[in-house]
Amino acid sequence: MATTDRQATTLALAHALSAAERGLAVIPLSRTKLPALRSPHRDAPEPVGPPCHGECGRFGHGVYDASTDPLRIRELFAAAPWATGYGIACGLPPHHLIGVDLDTKSGTDSSAALRELALRHLFTIPETVVVLTPSGGRHLWLTGPPDVVVPNSAGRLAPGIDIRGAGGYLVGPGSRTAHGAYAAAPGTAHLAPAVCPPALLRLLLPPPRATHPAATTTTDHGRGLVQFVLTAHAGQRNTRLFWAACRAYENGLGPALLDPLVEAAVHTGLSEREARATIASAARMTGRRA
Ligand SMILES: [Zn+2]
């Protein structure tokens, strides 16, 4: 058993180093999938001021220990010889990794839920790195823009879909845990993580704050949606109108934007009847009445 563990550690380190070579910052994980190194501050009283994220110079700050420097990674693993896996920090440059964690535990088909979201919000899941989890789940690796902070969330998008963003980490392929091994899906290991489709990215960001949004924000947002429809080319008029109407209804702007959206769509060449039908189906899709 000890030998097996040592082999698992060596293997995890090798995989961690090759992930780091691809620009992914890593930390050692224990068999429980938690950071292998415990906090050096765990016995200290609650600090006054912001918590230490490694400023003390010691290891044990979870994802804040993550590094792409092979020397530091070897030091981290040397300090945690019981590690059998590694975590990949999300949200860090250069990739700004976003993990879409499709679970199987909840008893729901999270892959189907994602396909449904893609249909409803008009994006396609790009070909990208997929990691198979021991429980039959899948992690999709995507990259985000540098200026956007994607928060972690669990089940917010749909049941069984968790998002690993800033401050989160993904169990790396080649890791061993108490439940089994994580491995790249055949044919995806060599891929670079694909860019997160903008429509999906919008769903990952926190909903615009405020139950009573400032009038200017609402107007700006609404104007943006109308503008989006106005600038549609012939082949995308209906798609754009549908998308904008979905966003409008999701944000409680549907009734207010009904006429401006119809007007914009007519301006691009759709008939008023077509435009109203598209908006009505967007309202149905988002569960609101037109
Ligand atoms: Zn510290």
**Pair of tokens at residue 191:** 């891929």
- Centre of ligand 1 to C-alpha 73, Å, is 17
| pLDDT at residue number 233 | 77
Q: How sure is the predictor about 50, in pLDDT bands with cuts at 50, 70 and 90?
A: confident
- Centre of ligand 1 to C-alpha 30, Å, is 20
- Centre of ligand 1 to C-alpha 41, Å, is 6
- Centre of ligand 1 to C-alpha 45, Å, is 13
Contact yes or no for 161/114 (Cβ under 8 A): yes
* Percent of the chain whose pLDDT exceeds 90: 59
- Centre of ligand 1 to C-alpha 55, Å, is 6
- Centre of ligand 1 to C-alpha 64, Å, is 10
- Centre of ligand 1 to C-alpha 87, Å, is 19
Q: Which of 232, 272, 276, 237 is nearest to 258 (CA)?
A: 276
- Centre of ligand 1 to C-alpha 59, Å, is 7
Q: Is a pLDDT exceeding 60 seen at residue 119?
A: yes
Give the separation between CA 203 and CA 280, rounded to whole angstroms: 21
- Centre of ligand 1 to C-alpha 51, Å, is 8
Please give the average per-residue pLDDT across 164-170, as a whole number. 95
Mean pLDDT, rounded, of the chain: 88
- Centre of ligand 1 to C-alpha 47, Å, is 11
Report residues near ion ligand 1: CB below 5 Å. 52, 56
Whether this prediction's pTM lies above 0.85 is answered by no
Give the separation between CA 199 and CA 114, rounded to whole angstroms: 13
- Centre of ligand 1 to C-alpha 39, Å, is 7
| pLDDT at residue number 32 | 95
Q: Within a 10 A sphere around the Cβ of 242, how many other Cβ atoms?
A: 19
- Centre of ligand 1 to C-alpha 62, Å, is 10
- Centre of ligand 1 to C-alpha 86, Å, is 20
- Centre of ligand 1 to C-alpha 88, Å, is 20
Give the separation between CA 139 and CA 76, rounded to whole angstroms: 25
- List, for residues 228-280, the tens digit of each pLDDT value: 888 877 777 887 888 888 888 888 888 889 999 999 999 888 899 989 998 98
- Centre of ligand 1 to C-alpha 19, Å, is 25
Q: Give me the residues paired with residue 153 across strands.
A: 163
- List, for residues 187-227, the tens digit of each pLDDT value: 999 899 999 999 999 999 876 555 554 444 556 778 888 88
Please confirm whether the linkage preceding 94 is cis (ω < 30° from 0). Answer: yes
